[in-house]
Chain A
Amino acid sequence: MSEPLCLSGVRVEHSAIGGARRAQIPATPPARAPAVAQTLVAWGLAGPAVFFLLVLFLLPVTGVFVIALSDWQFGARSLSFVGFANFREVFVDAGFRASLLNSVVYVLIVVPGSVILGLMIAVLIESGRSLRSFYRAIHFLPFMATLAAMAIAWEALLHPTIGFVNQALAVIGLPTANWLRDENTALPVLAIIGIWQNLGYAMVLFLAGLKSIPQDLYDAADVDGADLWLDRLCIVTLPMLGPVSMFVVIVVAVRAFEPFDAVKVLTQGGPGHASEMLLYTLYRESFEYLRTGFGAAVAVVFLAIVVTLTLVQARIMGNRVHYQ
């Protein structure tokens, strides 16, 4: 790793500073000492970040890979390598398949839900005159709050007999349900809680995006005859939010793959596997069933999905939203 850095240091010497220097002292090669000093400075500046990246990210990831290839159990004193047996096991495991499918369904509900609602709320807040910071705050609150604690509030709301939701539904004559214990409703309810939590984040990002749209463009649209609310939205607001939208979709999608606290508190993945999702499966296999090798294989699959998702989205959307 030191080679490229050292080289780049020398290259800077040649191109930026060296140009003038060479003109003055054509025969002498660039001095050795400054190049070494530059390399040291470069490592000194990058050092803390490299250290933490190594300790907090690269080493654990490598560790997970190693464990995924072994039969290690949490707490065991010895392990032996079993090749890809854990991965084979993961993909035939009915629980994991259900969990993967649930995660995908959850993401497909939460991402559009949070992004569209977040955008709508941001546009509404921005177009209104009064109470802007109040609306901003109440919509952002769920994102700031500890979800484990909030989940208990949701549990109370969704309680089958004394919960507010069922009582309200009963009053207006709609059918009620045991939301968290019914295999048809458990996952959608978790997804709604996911939307509730993420839309504030999407909203804040969209609000920042809206603020950065030049007023001149709205004025130009006015003069050009596009002065109705919908026209302004389609001609200026939405296209100008393109780059922000890309960011929001990626961030929310990655977040939507990792719901844990709500699952743990509200449903424990049940009933059956109806609301089990990747991170919860990972946790349960590793720390409750102590099948650490299996859990590590799930973690690798999870990491692969999140990284792929990020790359694909950046690719697809990057081509369409950059204006400069």
Chain B
Amino acid sequence: MASVSIDGIQKNYGPTSVLRGVSLSIADGEFLTLLGPSGCGKSTLLRILAGLEVQDAGSVLIDKRAVDGLRPKWRDVAMVFQSYALYPHMTVASNMALPLRMRRLSAVQRLPLVGRLLPETARITAEIDVEVMRTAKSLGIGHLLARKPGQLSGGQRQRVAVGRAMVRHPAVFLMDEPLSNLDAKLRVQMRAEIKELHQRLGGTFVYVTHDQAEAMTLSDRVAVMVDGELLQVAAPQDIYVDPDDRRVAEFIGSPKINMLDGVVRERGVVDVAGSALAIEVDAIAGAHITLGIRSEAFHFADHGGPGVLTGSVRMIEHMGSDLLVHFDLAGVDHLVIARLLAERAPHIAVGQTLHVGVRPDRVLLFTRDGRRLRREVEAGRASVTPIREIAR
């Protein structure tokens, strides 16, 4: 097992800058997810870790050893590809055995007929077969060893791809969106299996995804990437509750966080959408700021008043115990979404006037250019956001 350290990685394709100085260190045995929208450079970073691409600047250390310029096979990493990249002409057993054959058998020993006649070949091949069988059994694909990838379902192929990575006990597992070709139900199941696999193997995992539910449920830490920059690296809860950057707040969470423009009236009071909210903010009066309010930070209020926003209901989504209410606010050009408890907000109808209260301690403040404004006193910093709400 090994730690991974990435220092100032830059990568350009022609004039396009894909990675702009990314630095990150991953602890031994950690499950780290690179999360970001498509095109943010996360897959490129993973390929640089694997040695499949060469960075323009910066260096990669695996187990405190610089691996820049080393071929993938000398880096002691294994990779699971989005397409699985199984060799279609080989059986499952041959697919899984290949990494071991390449390492343990010499070029002569791998020759089709001559190789078998050499003294050590039979013994090493038998060893490999045993290890392949053991790995396959642990993944529940022992009965598929004689099949070819074309005869397997998506989930089975995915397991074979994981098996091929596992079989040689690499120091670091790299996974490039391994679940994105599966249907929704299977994805949830395989997510749990990957989590379990990580706990069982205890290896260092670097996992790339654009799916925040995967990132939140699997990871020890999540690294959010946007436009080739690493915006924040933190535990899943912190990414959600305490984002450093407006883009992180907007990328994480479903429904998307509501962003409302506000003006600081005086210390402790912010004007937003025609109401005054009592929010401690470390900014001078008259400063323009942006308030990030997650849908669950709203609560139903019977009537207007200080600290209450008033708007008109445009759409209602019933989610069972909750309602997602989309409403208009005066002076805001997009709809605002509130998650209200169904029992506390009876008889809401489209077109009706809605009053919602805001929990000041749950409001995230940003400068207009997107930096987070932290309050000096993070009183009662919300610790209540259940992860499952995001993962839904």
Chain A contact residues, CB within 8 Å of chain B: 214, 216-217, 219-220, 222-228, 230-231, 235-236, 239-240, 242, 323-324
Find the B residue at minimum CB distance from A214: B83
Contact of A222 among B72, B87, B148, B164 (CB under 8 A): B72
Q: A217-B85, A217-B87, A239-B89 are in contact. Are A223 and B102 (CB under 8 A)?
A: no
Find the A residue at minimum CB distance from B75: A223
Q: How would residues 165 to 188 of chain B score, 1 for a CB under 8 Å from any chain A CB and 0 otherwise? A: 000000000000000000000000
Q: Is B52 an interface residue (CB 8 A)?
A: yes
Q: Is the CB of B102 within 8 A of A226?
A: yes
Q: How far is the CB of A277 from chain B (nearest CB, A)?
A: 36
Q: Is the CB of B52 within 8 A of A222?
A: yes
Find the A residue at minimum CB distance from B86: A220
Q: Is B150 an interface residue (CB 8 A)?
A: yes
Q: Is the CB of A224 within 8 A of B73?
A: yes
Q: Is B368 an interface residue (CB 8 A)?
A: no
B residues 375-392 touching A (CB-CB < 8 Å): none
Give Cα distance in the complex from A225 to B77, angstroms. Answer: 10
Q: Is B103 an interface residue (CB 8 A)?
A: yes
Q: A231-B102, A235-B98, A323-B150 are in contact. Are A223 and B87 (CB under 8 A)?
A: no
Q: Is the CB of B150 within 8 A of A219?
A: no
Q: Is B71 an interface residue (CB 8 A)?
A: yes
Chain A residues in 8 Å Cβ range of B148: 323
Q: How would residues 51 to 71 of chain B score, 1 for a CB under 8 Å from any chain A CB and 0 otherwise? A: 110000000000000000001
Q: Is B81 an interface residue (CB 8 A)?
A: yes
Q: Is the CB of A225 within 8 A of B99?
A: yes
Give Cα distance in the complex from A29 to B149, angstroms. Answer: 46
Find the A residue at minimum CB distance from B161: A220
Chain B contact residues, CB within 8 Å of chain A: 47, 50-52, 71-73, 77-79, 81-83, 85-90, 98-99, 102-103, 107, 148-150, 164
Q: Is the CB of A235 within 8 A of B73?
A: no
Give Cα distance in the complex from A242 to B98, angstroms. Answer: 20
Chain A residues in 8 Å Cβ range of B83: 214, 216
Contact of A223 among B79, B86, B88 (CB under 8 A): B79
Give Cα distance in the complex from A217 to B164, angstroms. Answer: 13
Q: Is the CB of B102 within 8 A of A224?
A: yes
Interface SS of chain A: helix, strand, loop or mixed? helix
Contact of A224 among B88, B89, B107, B164 (CB under 8 A): B164
Give Cα distance in the complex from A217 to B86, angstroms. Answer: 7
Q: How far is the CB of A41 from chain B (nearest CB, A)?
A: 37
Q: Is the CB of B77 within 8 A of A223?
A: yes
Give Cα distance in the complex from A228 to B106, angstroms. Answer: 13
Q: Is the CB of A223 within 8 A of B72?
A: yes
Q: A222-B72, A225-B102 are in contact. Are A323 and B88 (CB under 8 A)?
A: yes
Q: Is the CB of B89 within 8 A of A242?
A: yes
Contact of B89 among A226, A231, A323 (CB under 8 A): A323
Chain B residues in 8 Å Cβ range of A214: 83, 85
Q: Is the CB of A225 within 8 A of B89?
A: no
Q: Is the CB of B88 within 8 A of A216?
A: no
Chain A residues in 8 Å Cβ range of B149: 323
Contact of A225 among B47, B73, B87, B88 (CB under 8 A): B73
Give Cα distance in the complex from A285 to B150, angstroms. Answer: 52
Q: Is the CB of A324 within 8 A of B71?
A: no
Q: Is the CB of A219 within 8 A of B79?
A: yes
Q: How far is the CB of A8 from chain B (nearest CB, A)?
A: 30
Q: Is the CB of B85 within 8 A of A216?
A: yes
Q: How far is the CB of A314 from chain B (nearest CB, A)?
A: 19
Q: How far is the CB of B373 from chain A (nearest CB, A)?
A: 43
Q: How far is the CB of B132 from chain A (nearest CB, A)?
A: 13
Those 6 A-B pairs whose CB atoms lie nearest each other, nearest first:
A225-B102, A220-B85, A323-B88, A216-B85, A225-B73, A239-B89
Give Cα distance in the complex from A217 to B87, angstroms. Answer: 7
Chain B residues in 8 Å Cβ range of A230: 107
Apart from the given pairs A219-B50, A240-B89, 16 other A-B contacts in the complex at a CB distance below 8 Å: A214-B83, A217-B87, A219-B81, A220-B87, A220-B164, A223-B78, A224-B99, A224-B164, A225-B103, A226-B102, A227-B73, A235-B87, A239-B90, A242-B89, A323-B149, A324-B88
Give Cα distance in the complex from A8 to B102, angstroms. Answer: 54
Q: Is the CB of A220 within 8 A of B79?
A: yes
Q: How far is the CB of A262 from chain B (nearest CB, A)?
A: 38
Give Cα distance in the complex from A242 to B87, angstroms. Answer: 13
Give Cα distance in the complex from A239 to B86, angstroms. Answer: 13
Give Cα distance in the complex from A126 to B87, angstroms. Answer: 21
Q: Can you list 13 A-B pairs with a CB-CB distance of less than 8 A?
A: A214-B85, A216-B85, A219-B50, A220-B86, A220-B87, A222-B51, A222-B52, A223-B77, A224-B102, A225-B73, A231-B107, A240-B89, A323-B150
